[in-house]
């Protein structure tokens, strides 16, 4: 089992939802965690939950490579290295393709797809140095298409393909790469307000446990593409 104590992680879109759920679990394991987002208030709340001695919040827009480069520089300046990157930031707009707004299409492409590329490129040198781990949070929408999902499907299919190809490219450098493809998760995604009615869904802490288990797996083994879904969707 790989020891996690003292390692450093960077999680995009980490101020709430899946990102914060992962951050909480990694802090429990003794890791230092940087979370990024576009809103300072949400980041301040997340750092307060995680503990300022173990966490830092970074304003970053993943659609901008220079923002992600700055985020990694801040992490290295504080903790000296970077071992784990979780590319989690994402948005979703759902409408029939004939009514989907061009702005919505480009926002999804720029955030969901260009974002994971920017995050990886910004952290590449650090991950090569640490022989670290890069994880994307994709979706079951990256393998299952559905009506009104053309834009979202396009980005998540892209994230899955990008991550799997990057996995093959980066193995010789000692970097492990995986994509996690969740189904319905109880988060604020798409302006949803989590409640007791979401009890049937995957919870953010469940994804946190999954990331922890990936990081602790023996280096010889790589689960590179993980689908995860609610056990009982019939209970919704």
If we measure between CA atoms, which residue out of 134, 112, 128, 160 comes closest to residue 222?
134
Q: CATH code at 171?
A: 3.40.50.720
The total domain count for the chain is 1
**Containing structural domain, residue 124:** 8-235
Distance from C-alpha of 33 to C-alpha of 229, rounded to nearest angstrom: 26
User: Which candidate in 10, 133, 134, 152 is catalytic?
Assistant: 152
Answer yes or no: is 1 within a domain.
Answer: no
Answer yes or no: is 101 within a domain.
Answer: yes
Q: What does each of the 236 residues of the chain score in pLDDT, given as a tens digit? A: 678 999 999 999 999 999 999 999 999 999 999 999 999 999 999 999 999 999 999 999 999 999 999 999 999 999 999 999 999 999 999 999 999 999 999 999 999 999 999 999 999 999 999 999 999 999 999 999 999 999 999 999 999 999 999 999 999 999 999 999 999 887 767 666 777 788 889 999 999 999 999 999 999 999 999 999 999 988 88
Contacts within 8 Å (CB) and 24+ apart, 170-173: 170/127, 170/134, 171/222, 173/127, 173/128, 173/131
Answer yes or no: is 186 within a domain.
Answer: yes
| pTM (predicted TM-score) | 0.95
Answer yes or no: is 37 within a domain.
Answer: yes
Answer yes or no: is 147 within a domain.
Answer: yes
Answer yes or no: is 160 within a domain.
Answer: yes
Q: Nearest 5°: CA angle at 135, between 172 and 69?
A: 85
Here the tokens at position 48 are 């307060």
DSSP character for 122?
Answer: H
Whether 133 is catalytic is no
């Amino acid at each position: 089992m790989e020891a996690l104590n003292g390692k450093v992680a960077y999680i995009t879109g980490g101020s709430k939802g899946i990102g914060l759920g992962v951050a909480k679990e990694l802090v429990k394991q003794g890791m230092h965690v940087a979370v990024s987002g576009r809103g300072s208030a949400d980041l301040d709340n997340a750092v307060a939950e995680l503990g300022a001695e173990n966490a830092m919040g970074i304003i970053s827009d993943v659609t901008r490579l220079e923002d992600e480069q700055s985020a990694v520089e801040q992490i290295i300046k504080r903790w000296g290295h970077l071992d784990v990157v979780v590319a989690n930031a994402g948005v979703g707009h759902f409408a029939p393709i004939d009514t989907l707004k061009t702005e919505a299409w480009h926002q999804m492409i720029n955030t969901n797809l260009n974002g994971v590329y920017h995050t990886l490129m910004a952290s590449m040198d650090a991950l090569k140095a640490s022989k670290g781990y890069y994880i994307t949070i994709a979706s079951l929408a990256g393998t299952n298409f559905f009506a009104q999902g053309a834009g979202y499907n396009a980005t998540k299919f892209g994230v899955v393909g990008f991550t799997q190809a990057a996995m093959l490219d980066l193995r010789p450098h000692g970097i492990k790469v995986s994509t996690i493809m969740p189904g319905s998760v109880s988060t604020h995604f798409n302006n949803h307000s989590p409640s007791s009615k979401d009890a049937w869904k995957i919870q953010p802490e469940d994804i946190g446990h999954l990331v922890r288990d990936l990081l602790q797996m023996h280096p010889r083994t790589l689960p590179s593409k993980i689908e995860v879904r609610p056990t009982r969707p019939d209970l919704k």
